[in-house]
Amino acid sequence: MILFIIIGFYLLTAFGNIRGDIKNFDNINMSILNPFGGITNQGEVFYSSVAFIGLKNYGLLNTNKSFEYFVLSLILPSRYLPKISDLPGYVSSFTPIGGGSGVFAYFYVWFGIYGVVGIAIFLSFLINLAYKSSNEYLILYSVMVLSTYPRWFAYSPITLFKLCLYILPVYFIYKIMFNSFRKGN
């Protein structure tokens, strides 16, 4: 198992390096001894989080509008919304960031310390409720939340609310089709 983990780690690192800089393939750091060469994803997420908070502290970020447009982005495609609906895109006009940020930075920017506590309570409530519940839709949503954790935690909370909910109508349609198929046979 450890061998598979090591092989998987190096394959995913290689894939990430190629995906990140395919035009400059000759200069990609593929050293077996240093797979972490260059800026790490964690470093970019930390830097973006600090940039978000810095813009809020200096009054360069309208946090109310940002949150309002974030809520609208749960329903509407981002191309119909102003740039502030995508916080990393907006912040990148002030400082170069890698994209995304820690989920707690988003909620801190929007609601201060109450946002950090609030999202933590929401996540713990959701996971505990799913553990105790027999509602298959709630369980499925919770599984999606846990499965997509790297995506919403380090990039954008939109994944937490929007992408994780996508599975529910798909599952509902699947159940209807499966039940009609079973009744037909």
* pLDDT at 23 (0 to 100): 53
Q: What pLDDT shows up at residue 115? A: 94
| Amino acid 95: pLDDT | 84
Which DSSP string corresponds to the chain?
-HHHHHHHHHHHHHHHHHHH-GGGGGG----SS-TT-S--HHHHHHHHHHHHHHHHHTT-S-HHHHHHHHHHHTTS-GGGS-GGGSHHHHHTTTS---S---HHHHHHHHHTHHHHHHHHHHHHHHHHHHHH---HHHHHHHHHHHHTHHHHHHT-THIIIIIHHHHHHHHHHHHHHHHHHHHH-
Extents of the domains making up the chain: 1-38, 41-184
Walk along the chain (185 residues) in steps of 10 and give the mean pLDDT of each run. 78 67 51 54 81 90 89 88 87 82 92 94 90 89 86 85 87 88 72
What pLDDT score was predicted for residue 124? 92
Helix axes 103-111, 113-132, angle to 10 degrees: 130
Contact 140, 167 (CB under 8 A): yes
CA 171 to chain centre: 22
Report the residue count for the chain. Answer: 185
Residue 16: what pLDDT? 67
What are the CA-CA distances from residue 184 to residues 68, 170, 176, 177 (Å)?
47, 21, 12, 10
pLDDT of residue 79: 85
Whole-model pTM? 0.72
